[in-house]
Amino acid sequence: MLQLIHTLTHPNAVYAVAFSPDGKQLATASLDNTLKLWDASTGSELARLRGHTDGVCGVAFSVDGKRLFSASLDQSIKFWELPAGAAAATITGPGRYIECFATSADGRLLATGSHDTQVRIHDTETGSLKMALKGHADVIFAVALSADGKWAASGGNDGALKLWELATGKSRTLTGNDGVPQSLAFRQDGQTLISGGGTGRIEWWSVATAERFLTAEGHRGVVKSLAISADDSVVASGGADGTVRLWDARTGAPRGEVAGHKNSVYGVAFSADGQRLASASFDRSIKVWDIKGE
Amino acid sequence: MLSVLGNQRTFCDGISRRSLLKIGGLAMGGISLPTLLRAEAQSARPQRQKSVIMIFLSGGPPHQDMVDLKMDAPVEIRGEFRPIATRVPGIQICEHLPRLAAMMDRLAIIRSLVGSEGRHAAFQCHTGWPVMPQPAGGWPAFGAVVSKLQGTASPGTPPYVSLSPRMKGSGWSDPGKPGFLGSAYGPFTPNVDGDGTLQVGSVSTDQLADRRALARQLDRMKRAADATGAIAGLDAYQEQAFGILTSGKLAAALDLSREDPKLRDRYGRGSPEPAGYGDAGPLMNDYFLVARRLVEAGVRVVSLAYGRWDWHGRPHGTTFDNARDHFPSLDQGLTALIEDLTARGMIDDVSIVVWGEFGRTPRINPRGGRDHWPNVGCAMLAGGGMRTGQVIGATDRLGDHATERPVHFQDVLATLYQRLGIDINRVTVNDLSGRPRYLVDHALYQPLHEVI
């Protein structure tokens, strides 16, 4: 069950949201070209970070909470120093739009998916490009990194869902997925990949066998965003139908839903303690939810 | 440029410090003082003043998702939305426009707008003419022509105001230029800096009371204008200009703090920030209310750019994400404007047109967007004593082209001229060579008989 705590806003669509590791702050990324930092307990705006020249599609905190990473449609990645919010570095991107963004839970890697059909893996310490993964035939719509940084997953507008072993750069294409993959998340144990599809299905895949072993349905239309709680127990999803849904990460059973937004939900994020969820929507709002027991 | 900058206090006439007045861009498209003043003698006309509000949907709205849904088309064309019934039996529009649906009897929808060049050009809507070729000086915007022909309706207010901000995309940031008529007939542009307030300048409100300071400003302005040859006869109007600047009438019309907050809420308020990734009109419903206040104060033509409708798809959101964002705001603001004008007894005197530069491709592209489609587009008309509650024209099963009653941009402008009492079959304006020019190509285009 989701109980609304705060409604926060940007003057344009909100593409991504992240909790700081200590749960005290939220960072949000918007099509208004800016990021905002918020006090997660009061909902007050702490800072607005300007510097990108196009929409900001991804945001994540560093593991120590001292830096913020952002990815933008302006084709760049920026590192921001906290709490000042000063842009510390800008990494020139692929020369085409960045469409999607992810970080590994161990904090070492970040990944972007681009309109040049490549997935790029960067070192978060130096910003350096570690590898560019080629294999998709169209825009990358979704990307995820396993917690230990050993695996990446990508979904393309070519309909392909791929698993990449980062040690070798080799990929496997999963088969039978629900249309064009729109969102991806690894379970923390790195054994399972979860994908959100083009017609509303959420699918669980074995990383070891590349087989699908579970499917959940509920969203009407595209599953735009996915997140998994730090204890691997709950999956959150956001849809083009404006709903936010919770699922049992082991069984796929629905655990709650709320028609929380008036437009597509582009981002969902759990707090580290799993007690709160934030959802970011094209309706220009971010909603912070308290996750109650059943 | 002469501007008036608000200070930290409230004026004695009650204008708040956020109400800043700019008499802007005299040599660059701003309204000139001669224009402001020339027709004061005409202001005592007995007939009710007629006005036009032009809402430009910058970027090109998707006709097939908005007012001409194609439920029989294949899925790659049909789109995500469903039609809903309207107050007028047999007419359906998008489910995300419920208030307009409930007010359909007060709207005329054109489903067969043709003549677009397919380029991002507010010019298309302001003039009706193609961008190329143009006569020397360029075609004048509708508002500029009205300014030339009818002048000021009310002392202290310009005939033509554009609320459009300056945008990066020069094509859609065009506020409606005066062309060969000369800058004297350009729009007053209080929002040219686009920060949501009316701004800036070298003359503070404190200095307004200092007539000597104003005189110095006007002298400088005149010298600048003379240097460009743009303005003549400023001297004759200098004294009256003091009155315009200090009367507060225009500033009062621009000051929404004077409105009932509940009415602003009904309009929907909005944000002055660009509605689309750094370059667009704002999705600012307050400007609809400002437009009403301006026509109420005597402005003849108000134009504004509203939102960003150039929805090519990801990564800037699909057409349908953007439509779910923009449609409800337009639905709220436009219905509020019509209701408000009706409540004030002004609706039959104020014509409203809502349109963009073209329609969108029938086929949804791989990024979930629709691209430019000059074949056909749509427009909405309201008020002005026009016959509403009807659809004009039709497109084929795919929304690809007009199959009935193609309506050209110039047909619509001819209709608006007619509503203002200007006969497009007789009236001309001289171009720079002295050649009389008809306002539209009247051999081809005429006021829409369906609405007049």
Q: Summarize pLDDT for B178-233 with one digit per residue, the tens.
A: 999 998 899 988 887 766 664 323 344 344 445 455 556 556 655 655 555 444 44
- pLDDT value for B157: 84
C-alpha to C-alpha distances, B123 to B150, B169, B387, nearest whole angstrom: 21, 12, 27
Give dist(CA B314, CA A180) in Å, integer: 14
Give dist(CA B321, CA B323) in Å, integer: 6
pTM of the model: 0.89
C-alpha to C-alpha distances, A75 to A7, A14, A91, A138, B189, nearest whole angstrom: 29, 18, 9, 17, 35
A98–chain B Cβ distance below 8 A for any pair: yes
Residues 208 to 237 of A: which have CB under 8 A from any B CB?
A: 221
Taking Cα atoms as reference points, which of B329, B330, B322 lies closest to residue B368? B322
- pLDDT value for B343: 98
Helix (H) or strand (E) holding B340: helix B319-343
Looking at the complex, report in whole angstroms how far the Cα of residue B76 sits from the nearest Cα belonging to chain A.
14
Task: Choose among A12, A57, A283: nearest Cβ to B315.
Answer: A57
DSSP string, B216-274: HHHHHHHHHHHHHT-----GGGHHHHHHHHHH-HHHHHH-GGGS-HHHHHHHT-EEEEE
Q: Residue for token digits 């919770």?
A: A246
- pLDDT value for B47: 67
Q: What percent of chain A has pLDDT over 90?
A: 95
- 3 state SS of A147: coil
- pLDDT value for B25: 34
* Chain mean pLDDT for chain B: 83
C-alpha to C-alpha distances, A72 to A56, A136, A155, A226, B277, nearest whole angstrom: 4, 21, 18, 19, 11
A284–chain B Cβ distance below 8 A for any pair: yes
Which of the pair, A261 or B166, is modelled with greater confidence?
A261
Instruction: For residue B14, name the pLDDT band (cuts at 50, 70, 90).
Output: very low
Taking Cα atoms as reference points, which of B325, B320, B72, B67 lies closest to residue A220? B320
Q: Summarize pLDDT for B408-432 with one digit per residue, the tens.
A: 999 999 999 999 999 999 999 999 9
- 3 state SS of B193: coil
Return all residues near B201 (Cβ < 8 A) that are at least 6 apart.
Answer: B1, B2, B3, B4, B5, B20, B22
* Chain mean pLDDT for chain A: 96
Q: What percent of chain B has pLDDT over 70?
A: 76
Q: Summarize pLDDT for B60-115 with one digit per residue, the tens.
A: 999 999 999 999 999 999 999 999 999 999 999 999 999 999 999 999 999 999 99
Taking Cα atoms as reference points, which of B349, B309, B351 lies closest to residue B50? B349
- pLDDT value for A63: 97
- The answer to whether the Cβ–Cβ distance between B277 and A264 falls below 8 Å is no
Q: End-to-end CA distance of chain B, in Å?
A: 41
Rounded (5°) CA angle A51-A55-A61? 70
* A175, pLDDT greater than 50: yes
Return all residues near B191 (Cβ < 8 A) that are at least 6 apart.
Answer: B162, B163, B164, B165, B198, B287
Looking at the complex, report in whole angstroms how far the Cα of residue B268 sits from the nearest Cα belonging to chain A.
14
Query: Dihedral (C-alpha) B339, B345, B350, B354: value to the nearest 10 degrees?
Result: 10
Q: What is the mean pLDDT of residues A36-48?
A: 98
User: By a Cβ cutoff of 8 Å, what residues of chain B touch chain A?
Assistant: 80, 271, 273-278, 314-318, 320-322, 324-325, 328, 366-367
